[in-house]
Amino acid sequence: MRERDDPETIGRRVQQLRTDRGLTQRQLAEPAYTPAYISTLEAGRVRASDEALRHIAGRLGVGFEELASGRPAHLATDLRLRLTEAQRTLATGAAEVAAAQYAGLFAEAEAHGLAVEQATALLGMGECALDTGDLGQAREFFERAELWTADEPLPVRVPAIRGRAVSHYLAGELRYAVYLLESTLDELNRGGLHDPDALLLLYASAIGPYMDMGAHARAAQAAELALALAPQAGDPALIARMHRSVARTLLAEGRVADADASLAKAAELYRQLQLRTELANCHWMRGYVYAQNGELERAEGELREALAMLSETRAALYRSQAAVELADVLHRRGKSDEAAELLHDVLGDFSSERGAVHSAAAHRLLGIIAEDARDTEAAEEHYVRALSLLERAGAAGDLADLCRLLGDLLRRTGRVEAALDAYRTGLGHRTAPGTTTLGPAPAQPPL
């Protein structure tokens, strides 16, 4: 961050302001300094002390910061207010509008050398890119934000690191996402940097990748730590996000009522904060909870609500992921044609670099629907595509289940050896869930 300009620049600025106000060097100098000192300062031959610049700023009727750096008075405060407005725009779902606001604010902060505000704008641009599904651009923004805060304490850098991890997670790079989150947690906790907001953000963000990798024990531990940290955290939006993430782990433990209660708390907070995308995600996760508990009609209602809200917010990748969850419920309710149509509509939004786990889930479900229609060739094609995506992502639990489906299909069509190979592959993933492939768990905070 640029604290103050060089002596020559400051000298020219003092001379210009003095001339504009019709003051002599003597009038500017008195009573604390001499005309000769002002002359030397204006010539850029002396580096004025802060005390001297404050005296001169007072005589000229400008702020110290404006005189020392050329920044208009209260610029940094004004920028922070407008950054908050951009954050609110993003929270209501208008990611493209918010991205334009953040880009303008970044340019303004850059012009005046305001590094903290530049980093904040880059973080916002990264979150906008996540919402619109541009994961490569999101990573670039988060990496730049991390560079701008490289000299700051680790808790300040956590939002940028978490953003990078989420962009890798959504792209299907589960292990690298977990590595980023866990190594940062370990550094925070071992270094005694027990910042509740930073820790809560990291633990809540790790739950999704853990679950997709089959590391249920580690996901449960992260959820418990996040819940323990929640009372200390000061950001209600962060607490709401945590409740939504924790619900998934509670469900995996069979605590359906607790999961639903956690989602209800998150939804209420998001209603208060008017965070449309996150509120939609609450409906999405609540639908997931109902579906896992066999309440398919209620699940369909929640997921349709989530899909409608996410369509309004243009959160393309999240919308497509919710559509896959809804298609699964529709299939289980006997509406397979509608489910298949929905899946084909959203498959174009995914790739091996963007939403790989949900893309695999879409192919898996299309394979099951094809099997039900006795189209074994199409079913096998979808299963193989899903297998390729999951192997790249390292989603161990999903891989084991998919190998069973593929093995059953191969066995029914008389290809016994190929079926055995598929079963063996599945067993290998089942015996090596995330807890054995992730390495030691990170150090825990002293709660």
Task: State pTM to two decimals.
Answer: 0.67
Give start and end residues of each alpha helix (H) in 191-295.
Answer: 196-213, 216-229, 236-252, 256-273, 276-292
pLDDT at 447: 55
Q: Residues 29-39: pLDDT tens digits?
A: 888 899 999 99
Q: What percent of the chain has pLDDT over 90?
A: 32
The amino acid present at 116, given as its one-letter code, is V
Write down the pLDDT at residue 437: 44
Confidence of residue 434 (pLDDT cuts 50, 70, 90): very low
User: What is the predicted pLDDT for the residue at 42?
Assistant: 92
Please choose, from the candidates 179, 235, 231, 187, the residue with its C-alpha nearest in 3D space to the C-alpha of residue 205: 179
Rg for the chain (alpha carbons), in Å?
28
Cα–Cα nearest to 127, from 149, 142, 112: 142
Q: Indicate the average pLDDT of the chain.
A: 83
For tokens 């001297």, name the residue: 52
| Strand ranges (E), 312-397 | none
- Whole-angstrom Cα distance, residue 291 to residue 212? 17
Between CA 84 and CA 90 the distance in angstroms is 10
Identify whether the C-beta of residue 284 lies closer than 8 Å to the C-beta of residue 306. yes
Per-residue pLDDT of 130-139, as tens digits, reads 888 888 999 9
Mean of pLDDT values over 57-82: 76
Please provide residue 153's backbone torsions phi and psi, each rounded to the nearest 5 degrees: -60, 155
Q: What is residue 2's predicted lDDT score, i.e. its pLDDT?
A: 46
Residue 405 CB coordination number (10 Å)? 20
Mean pLDDT of 215-243: 78
